[in-house]
Structures are given as C-alpha cells and as structure tokens.
Structure 1
Amino acid sequence: MSKGFKLLLLLLGLAALSWGMYECKYYYSYYADLKDRPWAYSRDENAKLLVGTWQGEFHDPDGVTKTIRLTIAEPVTDEERARKAGRRARKRSGLGSQTDKKRFDGSATVSSHRGREAYKLNGHVRTEDGHQLDVIHFQIDDELQALRKNFTVHSALEGGQWQDDRLTLTLAFTYTTATGSAFSSSADPRYDKKITVRLSRENHEHFATN
C-alpha cells in the first residue's frame, strides 16, 4: 500500500470522524430541545406550538381599535444549530446546555388609524409544557419613530395562556406624550387600565375582550 493511499485513507477517516461529531452535537441539541422546550419544538410538523405568529384585536385605554400581530421565534433555528454544531468546543458546556430553556424572543406590530407601532419582545413560559406564561416585555423597536399621544404596549402580565390555536394575554400600557416622554396620572383610570386580548394563530378567526 503506497504512502499516498495511506494518507488518503487517513484524511477520509478524519473527515468521517469530524462529520460524525457534527451529527452527534447537532442531534443531541435537537433532541434536548424536544424534551426541554416542547412549546417550541415537535417531531410532528403539524403540532400546534407557542412558537409562530398570532393575531388579534383590542381597544386601547383611549378606546382606539387596534390590531396586534405577534411573532414568537424559535429559540434556536436550524441554521444556528448547524452553525454551533460545526464549531470546535472550547468549554465543557454542550451545545446550548447553559441557555435559558424557558425564554423566548419575538416581535410584534400594533396597527390602527393612528399608525403602526413596532416592538421587540421577550418573555418566559412558567410551566414545562409552556401553556402558562410569565411576563412578556415589549420594547419599542425605534424610539424616534414611536407614535406620540398614544398608549403603547408596555407588557403582557403574568398569567397569559395558550392552547392549540388560542393565545390569551392581558396587556399593560404606557402613555407617550407629544414630546415623546412617558406620562401617568393616578386620577385618570385610563393610565392603569389593563386590556385582555385573545389572539388566534395566523389564518384563524380572532376576537378580543376588553
């Protein structure tokens, strides 16, 4: 057997070993998420998860009718999982082993005749199956573009729930003045008003309760 052929076999063996390690890391991460994040991942392509896009309508504390479209993103996308699996481990921690298994991020838009409000959001599920939600924090995507003289969404209170194609949230608000500052008054109940909105998975009928 020539030296060149032996070298070729060695290179092929190293390539196979590297690919095997990549596959192990990728699928270990995936199956760990199936177990730890059942609200975000499922082997069933038709499973109804918290992850996805939801929509609904509500009336803000000023009585303005608004439409909310809310997207909860996958904690780790396939592309991110593949990229992380391909990296050489520098620490003992496994792929994503130290991440917060109950956290989620996303975005939302709220539309009305007054204009469009764009938000980033983050929150946590309270239960292992994810059907009970903790506080969801909303942050205006661009403060310079924030609507003035408007009740903007500040948060969704602890106690939100989702089941199948229905998501129920109770929204709290912050009033933005004409100068862009926040304002509140204990003498006016609008500033402390909470609104319950029932959202449906996109492409399903939705409704709201105020």
Structure 2
Amino acid sequence: MASRTRILLFVVVLITLSWGVYECKYYYSYYADLKDRPWAYSRDENTPLLVGTWQGEFRDPDNVAKTIRLTIEPPVSDEERSRKAARRTRKRSSFSRTDKKWFGGEATVTSVRGKEEYSLSGHVRTDDGHQLGPVRFSTDDGIGPVRSNFNLHSASEGGTWQDDELTLTIGFTYTTKTGSSHWSSADPRYDKKATIHFSRIKP
C-alpha cells in the first residue's frame, strides 16, 4: 500500500513539474513577444496593432477599380505557442533575431476582372513596427491569379502604419492569357505603382 502511495505521489509530482515547465516556456515566449513585437502583441485588447485586417481601394495600371483586403496574422499563434511549449526538446531555430520583425498573411483583390488571392510576407523596419520594409505577394504556383491582368507584385520599402491607418505603395506584374509574365519598357503602364491607403476592418 505504501509503495502504491509513493508511486502515486511520484506521478503527481511529475505531472506538476511538467505543467510548471510548460507554463514557464509558454509565458516566457509570450512576454518576449510583447517586448520584441509590440506591433503584433499587446496585453490591452484595445491597442491598435499592425496585425489585423485592412481594406483599401485602388486603380491598377489599366485603370480598373479594385478593392484589396489584407489580413496580417500574428507571427506566432496561441496554438503554435502551446505546441512549442509542450515539446520536451527544443529544436534549434534557423531564424535570427532579425526575424522578430517578420510578418505574413493573406491578400485578396476583387474587381470586374475576378478575384486575386495571394500570400504575403514582409518585415517591419523599426522596433515599433510603424515603418515597413518591402512586402511581397505570391501565389502557390508562382503564376498571376488572374490572366490578362495586372496582378500584385510587391509593396516597396517605405510603407507606414499608425493606429487604424496603413499605407503601401504597390507595384504590379502583368500576366498574359497563357499565364506568363510580360513587361515592356515602351509602355508606361508597366512601371506604374499605386499608393493605397488602408483602413482597419474591426471585428
């Protein structure tokens, strides 16, 4: 009986220690992100962040009116943080400290030409995240999502975010009917960029 009690106590202690380690790893990661990524995380749910959903309007080089919606996701979701905290061994990360400034997400553009869907990735240039580096738009197959259309290519360095306003200057790539890219130095449309002023879409 005493042996069974000792085993039970050992199991309880082991579970308690495991939970304590999990809690320490989870909250260490969370508080590190509060410090290193103030543009993505805040303990105050009313604090405006770069993370979120944004919408803007623009005209492409063919003067087609389009609506764009961006969703910038938290660099580490709660689920991912929980999984990492639950690991017994820690995998060596290939990312450096500069990747604390990385963000990713999705973009959708709608117009009479159809729906364009992209993945996006970029970096903030400053610790507070208000100055942005280049933002790249891509598709799974590497081909423009809509044919015979000026699709998104990238936003140039110099974008800004403050409170509920986001500004990006976006360049385009033309996708032909066959799915290939086309550019002509003789046609000024191919060098045209659009400065887009986004507003936050609140849940």
Question: What TM-score, normalized by structure 2, do the two folds share?
Answer: 0.94
Unaligned runs of 5+ in 2: none
Structure 1 contact 118–142 (Cα < 8 Å) conserved: no
Query: For residues 1-210 of structure 1, what are the structure 2 equivalents within 5 Å?
Result: 2-90=2-90, 100-142=99-141, 146-203=145-202
Distance of aligned partners of 1:101 and 1:165 in 2 relative to their CA distance in 1, 3 Å threshold: same
1:67-122 per-position Cα deviation (integer Å, ceiling 9, x unaligned): 0000001100101100110001245x59x886810001100000001100000110
Question: What TM-score, normalized by structure 1, do the two folds share?
Answer: 0.91
- In 1, distance between residues paired with 2:143 and 2:132? 30
- In 2, distance between residues paired with 1:141 and 1:44? 36
SS at match of 1:128: coil
- Matched length: 202
Higher mean Cα deviation, 143-152 or 4-13?
A: 143-152
Cα drift, residue 180 of structure 1? 1.1
Distance of aligned partners of 1:79 and 1:203 in 2 relative to their CA distance in 1, 3 Å threshold: closer
1:108-146 per-position Cα deviation (integer Å, ceiling 9, x unaligned): 000001100000110000000000000000012455782
User: Letter of the aligned partner of 1:100 in structure 2?
Assistant: D
Cα drift, residue 177 of structure 1? 1.0
Higher mean Cα deviation, 136-145 or 106-115?
A: 136-145
User: Letter of the aligned partner of 1:168 in structure 2?
Assistant: T
Structure 1 contact 118–141 (Cα < 8 Å) conserved: no
> Match for residue 207 of structure 1?
none
SS at match of 1:70: strand
SS at match of 2:66: strand
Identity value in percent = 66
Cα drift, residue 53 of structure 1? 0.5
- In 1, distance between residues paired with 2:162 and 2:7? 58
